Each structure stands twice: as C-alpha cells, then as structure tokens.
Amino acid sequence: MSITKLAHIKKFFGGTNNPEEKRELYKEMLLMTLSRATRADLVTNNSEVETVQGILLTLLGEEISSADIRVAAASELFETAPISKYLERVGSQLDPDQNRSIVQALIDVFGADGQVSAQEVNFFNMVVEALDLTPADIVGLVSS
C-alpha cells in the first residue's frame, strides 16, 4: 500500500494537518454554529444575525449576507445529523484556539439582543460539550 493511500485513509477518518484544510473547516464550523445559534430559541433576531456578520468579518475577513446566514441556520445538514455530532467530528480536527474562538463568538451572539433564553443556554452547553471544552478553556485560562 502506498503512502498516498494511507493519507486518504487518514483524511477519511478526520485527521488533517494541512493548515488550509483546517482554515476551511474552521470557517465552515464558525458559520454553521453561529448561524444555527441565531435559531436556538426559535426566534431569529436581526441583532443576532448582524452580530454573526460582524464576527465573521472580524475573524475571517469575509462579508456574509444575512440571507446566507439564515440559509445556513436552516441547513439540511442538521436534518441528517445532529449539530452535536457535526461539532464533535469537525471540532476534533481544529486547533484548541479555533474551538475557543467559536465559543467566545457564541457568547457574543447570544448577548446581542440583550437577553439569553433557556434554549440558548442549552445550545451553548451542547456546543461546549461537543467541542470537549472545559470551563477553564471557555474563560481563556490556558496553561503555558
């Protein structure tokens, strides 16, 4: 068996060391998670969508339309697999800093409308658990 075939097997099982692939996964996961967060309480608030747009512009340097965010929030991906499974799979391939930035961005989205619902708290807890983050990770208390 050639090395090339082993690389395909590694990729199939989710391992990636390619920085460009990690960046693309991060972009996708950030967009999907934050977009889905705007619907966590079943009410898509404009201030939350605008916050997502600002976060994506800041972290990725890309402008994403509110329509694209709303489409991502209702993505068919979540009909075939729960978002927690998606986050577990993709999050395990990202750097810890990338996962922490997703959680920090989620905090900003949920605070955008001035109130946090029980559904949003549940969504937040699910994301943190799926990304296998600790309370220390969330507050940025990381050992050197």
pLDDT reported for residue 119:
93
Q: Decide if 1 is inside a domain.
A: no
* Domain presence at residue 57: yes
3-state secondary structure the chain: CCHHHHHHHHHHCCCCCCHHHHHHHHHHHHHHHHHHHCCCCCCCCHHHHHHHHHHHHHHHCCCCCHHHHHHHHCCCHHHHCCHHHHHHHHHCCCCHHHHHHHHHHHHHHHHCCCCCCHHHHHHHHHHHHHCCCCHHHHHCCCCC
Global confidence as pTM: 0.79
Residue 96's CATH number:
1.10.3680.10
User: How many domains are there within the chain?
Assistant: 1
* Residues spanned by the domain of 43: 15-139
Residue 144 within a domain: no
What tens digit of pLDDT does each residue of 102-122 get? 999 999 999 998 889 999 999
**Residue 71 covered by a domain:** yes
